[in-house]
Amino acid sequence: MNIHEYQAKQTLKKYGVAIQEGIVADTPDKAVDAAKELKEQTGTGWWVVKAQIHAGGRGKGGGVKLAKSLDEVKELSNKILGMQLVTPQTGPEGKKVHKVLIAQDVYYPGESETSEFYISVLLDRATSRNMIMYSTEGGMDIEEVAEKTPNLIFKEEVDPKIGLQGFQARKIAFNLGLSGKAFKEMVKFVMALYKAYDETDSAMFEINPVLKTSDDKIIAVDAKVNLDDNALYRHKDLALMRDINEEDPTEVEAGESNLNYVKLDGNVGCMVNGAGLAMATMDMIKLSGGEPANFLDVGGAANAQTVEAGFRIIMKDPNVKAILINVFGGIVRCDRVAKGVVEAYKNIGNINIPIIVRLQGTNAEEAKKVIDESGLKVVSAILLKDAAEKVKEALA
């Protein structure tokens, strides 16, 4: 689960990670109040107005602006709140901004130059251990750094037996070229950051940039936190941070019916039991000349209710020209699924697009009979090859 920057920063702060302070607001007036309060708390003279959406590259889309007066705070918040923010990660339709974070200005002039770093904590799947990935090239797109200057990206593996050790944090601070007060601050920062990652059961932390201020403080200016969904049951407080506004409404609805749905841009809808088979079915649709309109895993219980919920969700998408149902019945019997399909079809009524039902496994022959004798305009298949052919015919 992803959370907003302001939520991520609050969480980091609890674990002693120094952050760029800020106050969240959902109206321009509240943004001005937040700016006044922040000035009292931190003494900041300028403010940064930051759009809160679950996507990176907000600055590039005009979602992060510097305000030099309270009037500008109001003006910029007014502009950003409610805008459809398009960034390289949102897709062309963008995401609506419901909240802004009014943050302190941390790039103030001082005794030394400011510098920006990149630090993330994540699972290294190759070793099954957590690692800290860091770079002197902060504030940039890390994928780009990895491609152009891979020698500037460092990795530090954490031994699960002992956790992150002080010598490792010192190594990171040295590799980032720090000394004196900034060095000590960085060691503290890294230790606190890892503790936060570990204790929140996170799947990924990405702090980009980590800033060395002109007075040698080390602070998180941005924070991207991805929590492990499987561990949310033991973090009720973090689970509450979910923002449904950030999710596709159809995907949310699917989740409520225990369906796993991801919307795509194609013209053939599909409904499948099992994630691997669902992906394979999408691939087959493409090979048959179509484009998958979605990923939809109905899970173990492919019954009349789940099939009906699946139908309704797929048909919300006006681009869908055909639907392929692909169920491999192991524990779940195919004839039951077939009856479920027929029932769901009748309940919905007026389905005007071709439906191809491929049922294989336990009682596949009986299932085909149920479909064929239903009198509905539904094409049945048993072999995956036949199903592929029938998708092709439907699109022709």
Q: Which residues would be at the binding site for other proteins (CB under 8 A)?
A: 89, 123, 125-126, 128-130, 143, 160-161, 198, 201, 203, 228-231, 233-234, 260, 262, 264, 266, 272-287, 291-292, 295, 297, 328-331, 360-362, 383-385, 387-388
Q: Smallest distance from the beta carbon of 216 to other proteins, in angstroms? A: 34
Tell me the two tokens of residue 280.
Answer: 């394979």
Q: Which of 5, 156, 185, 206 is catalytic?
A: 206
How far apart, in Å, do the first and last CA atoms of the chain sit?
Answer: 40
* Complex with other proteins: residue 264 or 351, whichever CB lies closer: 264
Question: Would you say 253 and 243 are in contact if contact means Cβ atoms under 8 Å apart?
Answer: no
Closest CA to 120 of 130, 108, 112, 132: 132
Pair 105, 66: CB distance under 8 Å: yes
Which of 6, 118, 261, 345 is labelled catalytic? Answer: 118
Q: Residue 63 — φ and ψ, nearest 5°?
A: -100, 0
Query: In the annotation, is 6 catalytic?
Result: no
In the bound complex, what is the minimum distance in angstroms from residue 224's beta carbon to other proteins? 12
Cβ distance to other proteins smaller for residue 137 or 185: 137
> Cα–Cα distances in Å, from 189 out to 185, 195, 330?
6, 10, 51
CA distance 264 to 375: 31
Which residue lies nearer to other proteins by CB, 21 or 228?
228
> 173 or 381: whose CB is closer to other proteins?
381
Query: In the annotation, is 197 catalytic?
Result: no
CA gap 386, 355 in Å, rounded: 14
In terms of phi and psi (left: phi > 0; alpha: psi -120 to 50; beta: otherwise), the region of 66 is: beta
Question: Which is nearer to other proteins, 28 or 292 (by Cβ)?
Answer: 292
The minimum distance between CB 322 and other proteins, in angstroms, equals 16
What are the structure tokens assigned to 44, written together?
A: 């900041």
Q: Are 225 and 236 in contact, with CB atoms under 8 Å apart?
A: no
Alpha carbons within 13 A on the beta-carbon side of 239: 8
Q: Indicate which residues carry an active-site annotation.
A: 118, 206
